[in-house]
């Protein structure tokens, strides 16, 4: 007995559906946090894992990282705990000059 045409396409459709479900689970997240200018090295700014609803293991598996906009890396992410901490003290004048507000 020869399969009907619609039955022949099922594996292809199932693969396409699986691909869509997998890809829909991947997305980039953007988060913004305020950091006082006086914050010292090692000061915890936030727990990224908790804010994103993930565990530290998931951050590690997804290779989460902080991508700086400039040359200096002011923040660091502990992938195991999800803590975002100050890596280098920030100087408002160096970052923003005289512009208001400084973002």
Task: Give mean pLDDT in consecutive 10-residue pieces for the chain, a chain of 103 residues.
Answer: 50 51 54 82 92 87 84 88 90 78 71
Tell the CATH topology of 39-89: Immunoglobulin-like (2.60.40)
CA 67 – CA 54 distance, rounded (Å)? 19
CA distances from 19 to 12, 15, 64, 93 (A): 11, 6, 22, 48
């Amino acid at each position: 007995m020869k399969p009907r045409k619609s039955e022949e396409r099922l594996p292809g459709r199932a693969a396409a559906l699986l691909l869509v479900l997998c890809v829909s689970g991947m997305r980039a997240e953007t988060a913004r946090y305020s950091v006082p200018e006086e914050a010292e090295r090692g000061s915890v700014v936030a727990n990224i894992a908790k804010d994103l609803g993930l565990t530290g293991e998931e951050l590690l598996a997804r290779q989460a990282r902080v991508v700086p906009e400039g040359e200096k890396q002011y923040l660091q992410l502990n992938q195991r705990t999800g803590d975002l901490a100050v890596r280098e003290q920030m100087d408002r004048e160096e970052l923003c000059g005289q512009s208001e507000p400084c973002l």
